[in-house]
Structure 1
Amino acid sequence: MRRALLIALAAVGLMAAEPAAAPDRPLADAGQEARARALFADIRCVVCQHESIADSPAGIAGDMRRLVREEIAAGQTDPAIRADLVRRYGDFILFQPPVRPGTWLLWFGPAGLVLLAGAGLALAARRRRPDPVPLTGEEEDRLAALLATEAFRPDPDASRPNPGHEAGPII
């Protein structure tokens, strides 16, 4: 029973897998194909998200490559092709989205975080710990008396910081 269930689940998983992308058909004109390949490097795969459509094995990346080639063959300019892809998929589709109010956080957010962290570090460095209050004469006398008595001994389990150096008692 379990074996049949596992086989059924594996079969469903294999059927749900994305089909392989159709093989690319380069454009006949070498100049147009060079333009297409340059555009492929600037366009993000919506499935892989960290790869360009030139490097992605996803089926949708193959569809996007075919779309770009079709638009180049139809005479579209590179900015028009990018604008069409942004219209379909949003600014995220471009590895270098345009600078406009909707993308300011994307462009300036990291620099703002660095500046904010630097300001925080500068403020923390400017805060000084208060100077310690010196001991009064009475406190100094009491400390000297404590140090002179035999009731005050160093920890017997403590080791010397430098075993070869014979210094006074470790306090």
Structure 2
Amino acid sequence: MFSILLKARVKRLAVFLGLVWSLSAVAVIETYEFSTPELEERYRALSQELRCPKCQNQNIADSNAPISQDLRALLFEKLEKGASDEVILEDMVARYGEFVRYRPDTRGAALWLWLAPALMLGAGIVLLIVLLRRTAGASTAGELELTSEERARLDRLINDKASKS
């Protein structure tokens, strides 16, 4: 009985290790020869910053999509030609839109996207304060101001209740 359980566990372990080992075959392998180590560092940083237009949740460094391969080749060419990081990012945004960047620009129309959560939170807090003050003011004003008729009726109800007890 013990040997059967041991064999089953060994088989599961072998399958697990085979799956883990096969995941390394999916990794992207770059074969670009950079003229300087600084260009290679810039390439790695920019390829992590740019999003794959097809995959949408992966950067171009991790994606095996054909469009990502093309973007990596384009990035390599631009770096070797001496383009700055800003120029490369502007060119990619011009081609594929602001979506291609994981950290969109904080100027212009995108500024509203960055500020919208804070503005909505502030507006919600202001609205909550106004509603709480209005509700608190209405309840205290109503409790303090009884007309003479209301006061007389209240006294009658209290007296009736006391006399029945």
Q: TM-score range by the shorter chain?
A: 0.5 to 0.7
The SS at the match of 1:100 is coil
- Whether the 8 Å CA contact 2:52–2:59 is kept in 1: the answer is yes
Q: Which residue is 1:89 aligned to? A: 96
Q: Does 1:104 align with 2:111?
A: yes
Give the partner amino acid of 1:114: L
1:91-128 CA-partner distances (Å, limit 9, x unpaired): 22222222333212212111111111111221122121
- Whether the 8 Å CA contact 1:44–1:50 is kept in 2: the answer is yes
Q: Which residue is 2:157 aligned to? A: 139
Identity %: 30
Q: Structure 2, unaligned stretches of length 5 or more?
A: 1-25
Report how many residues are paired.
128
Mark the CA change 1:39 to 1:124 in structure 2 (over 3 Å): closer, same or farther: same
Alignment RMSD (CA, Å) = 2.6
1:1-55 CA-partner distances (Å, limit 9, x unpaired): xxxxxxxxxxxxxxxxxxx998432333322111100111221222232332223
The SS at the match of 1:130 is helix
| Selected match of 1:24 from 13, 25, 30 | 30
Q: Does 1:124 align with 2:131?
A: yes
Q: Structure 1, unaligned stretches of length 5 or more?
A: 1-19, 149-171
The SS at the match of 2:139 is coil
Q: TM-score, normalised by structure 2?
A: 0.65
Q: TM-score, normalised by structure 1?
A: 0.63
**Which aligned pairs between 1:1-171 and structure 2 lie closer than 5 A?**
23-28=29-34, 29-127=36-134, 128=136, 129-131=138-140, 132=143, 136-144=154-162, 148=165
